Amino acid sequence: MAPPIKYAVDRDTLYYWYNNLGMTQVAIANKIGCSEETARRLMLRHGLMQLSKHYPGWRIRERELTADEARALFAFTLGDGGVYIREDWPTNAHFACTHSLKQEAYLLWKYSLISNLCLSPPKSHVRVGKYYLDGSCIQECELHTVQHPGITPLRVLFYPDGKKHLTSDVLCRLDAFSLAILYMDDGTIYRGHGVEGYGAIATYGFEYEEVVELAACINDMLCIKDTKRRFKVWRVSGGKYPLLHIPRHSEFFDMIRPYVIPSMAYKLP
C-alpha cells in the first residue's frame, strides 16, 4: 500500500539525505512538507532506522500473542471490531473497536483480555455531526492495539479483498466464545406478545450467501435437525441486508450463556 503521493519519497533519496548529507528528521520533514512523525515513519518503512527500544510499543511487538489473546482478537474481529493497515506505516496491522459509551463496561472487559497489546485503556469521545433521535450527542469509546505481527494474519483472514468477509477459513474456527462475542456485539432479543424468546443478529456487513453459510455452521454446531428450530436468514430493508434469525428459546442461548458478561446479560431470554 503506497504512502500519500506528496510523501512518496523513494528509499535512495531518503538514504542520500540522511546518510550522505546528514539531514535530520526535522530537515527531511521540512523538505518533504510533512510532519516529523511522518518522516520518521517513512524512514522506518524503508529500513533506514529502527524503532527505539525505549518506545513503549517495542516490547509489545517483540513478543508473540498468547493463545487467549489470539482467540479474543479473532472473536472481536468477527463482531464489531476491525483489523486495519495504516497507509503511512503498512508493516503490520492493528485492531480497533468502537462501542457506545453506554456499553463502556463491555469494552473495558474486552480491553482486559488484550490489555497487554494496548498502550492505553479505551478512550471516549463525542461523535461529531451524529446525534440520537432525542437530539443528544452520540458518545463513543474506542479501543486500539499497537501494530503487531501477530495481528496481521487476521487482516488476511477476514479481509481477502479489503472488505470483511465470512470466509470458509473464518467459519471453520467458530466456537461458542466467538459466537457469544458476535451476539453481544450485534445481537438482540425480542420481547413482547408473540415474539417473546426470539432473537436476531444484525449481520448487515456481510454478504447474504456468507450469512447463509454462517447459519448452516451454527445449525451443525447445535446438531439441529428440526426445520422449525434451525437458524434462518431473512432479508431486511427491502432485501438489501441479511439478518440472522434465532428461533424462539433456541439452544444457541444455552451455548453462549457462559460467556455473556453481566452487563450484556439483558440480551439473553
pLDDT for 119-148, tens place per residue? 889 988 776 556 555 666 778 899 999 989
Three-state DSSP state, 90: strand
Give the per-residue pLDDT at 63.
Answer: 84
Higher pLDDT, 268 or 11: 268
Residue 2 has pLDDT above 50, yes or no: no
Indicate the pLDDT class of residue 55, thresholds 50, 70 and 90: low
Least confident of 28-32, 63-67, 71-75: 28-32
Higher pLDDT, 16 or 185: 185
- For residues 29-47, average pLDDT: 80
Give the per-residue pLDDT at 49.
Answer: 67
- Average pLDDT over the chain reads 87
Residue 229 has pLDDT above 60, yes or no: yes
Helices (H) and strands (E) in the chain, counts: 11, 8
E strand segments, 17-114? 82-86, 89-100
- Distance (Å, rounded) from C-alpha 115 to C-alpha 193? 43
Give the per-residue pLDDT at 3.
Answer: 43
Indicate the pLDDT class of residue 32, thresholds 50, 70 and 90: confident
Q: For the chain, how many residues are written?
A: 269
pTM of the full structure? 0.78
Q: Is 54 exposed, middle or buried (0-12, 13-18, 19+ CB in 10 A)?
A: exposed
Three-state DSSP state, 137: strand
Give the per-residue pLDDT at 245.
Answer: 94
Q: State the first-to-last Cα distance of the chain, in angstroms, to the nearest integer.
A: 46
Higher pLDDT, 11 or 160: 160
Higher pLDDT, 263 or 193: 263
